[in-house]
Amino acid sequence: MACGLWHYGLEAQAQRKKEEQFSTTPKDKVRLFFSFWLVGHYKYSPNQNPHLAVPTFDSSLSLSQISEHSNPAPMANEGILLGMGNPLLDISAVVDEEFLKKYDDLVKNYNVEYIAGGATQNSIRVAQWMLQIPGATGYIGSIGKDKFGEEMKKNSKLAGVNVQYYEDESAPTGTCAVCVVGGERSLIANLSAANCYKSDHLKQPENWALVEKAKYFYIAGFFLTVSPESILLVAEHAAANNKVFMMNLSAPFICEFFKDAQEKVLPYMDYVFGNETEARTFARVRGWETENVEEIAVKISQLPKASGTHKRITVITQGADPVVVAEDGKVKLFPVILLPKEKLVDTNGAGDAFVGGFLSQLIQEKPIEDCVRAGCYAANVIIQRSGCTYPEKPNFK
């Protein structure tokens, strides 16, 4: 796919921002984030929605109730989890409202923080943080051969993730400004090199070695717009070697406008993640006459699989409503609670953090209850901080 304006990708970013919006940002300040993702220029100001929430585990449930059936699980090995997707570099700063009128000279005039991001990379970083085992996770994606690309590499390696970026010499690492004023966001994006990944890079021996080593794979649906060939290579490898392959629906437009690409890889998915809006869109474009998220989750889990080694499990978050987990034709609901409004800082990356927390326990063969609990914990930590960041060590037990 050529590097250029990718309008639908921008719509997805805007949609996810809108769905996760909380009205907690002080009106006299703007949190600004520059992100690296696909390509183009875009501005978006969604309306505030006070009814959306991020899953956090119900504190009324005791740890013994959750993990009474848990058995000691193996520690995560080096390289056990591999992610592949569209890397972003968040450049975060707090600026005044006047900055909204120009969007210029952020790095020059403000004290900024660099954060390696992007949907899949966020999840991998959070999983790495939860595991606290250097090199347990790996990540593949495309960046530009420039100073921001160097920041991306430095930031990811400091996080303990083994990154193998394809460095595109024809496209710069993209940027996306996310400005929040009084709980409302505006996006201006220049998304470039992340959209230029080539499967030839994946096939190189040093990169394919990461695939051979990993036992679990996670890819956000956004990567279907970039390199479906690369996704299929990994998916087929996972099925042939009894490994676990996982994807995220990621956005309604992926389910609608990239249905064919999604259909080709769907039989290989052992875990399908998404939110309620994405699940309903998935059902609608397939002619399923239901908007019931529980029914949709079950139907997704029962779609044909390429391999019978692993049953498919569907995990759907629903904001303030319970997390839906469907397997074996049955549904389990995990209640969530709202963080006190005064503690909410920024919901950017909360959904990615949920997946990261979930994966950190899954690769240790923990029960599904512990996976959901870890996902809710990670999301809860992220929304109390600016950007998809976290403290030095997790306090998850």
Catalytic residue among 90, 346, 352, 370: 352
How many CB atoms are located within 10 Å of the residue 241 CB? 13
The helix/strand/coil state of 370 is helix
d(CA 273, CA 260): 18
Full 3-state SS string of 30-97: EEEEECCCCCCCCCCCCCCCCCCCCCCECCCCCHHHHHCCCCCCCCCCCCCEEEECCCEEEEEEEECH
The dihedral over CA atoms of 326, 327, 332, 333, expressed in degrees to the nearest 10, equals -20
d(CA 222, CA 376): 23
Q: Tell me, yes or no, if 328 is annotated catalytic.
A: no
d(CA 206, CA 342): 47
**CB 36 within 8 Å of CB 88:** yes
Q: Which amino acid, one-letter code, is at 125?
A: R
Q: In the chain, which ranges are continuous DSSP H helix?
A: 7-19, 63-67, 106-109, 119-131, 147-158, 199-203, 205-213, 228-240, 252-257, 259-265, 276-285, 293-301, 350-362, 368-382
The residues that are catalytic are 352
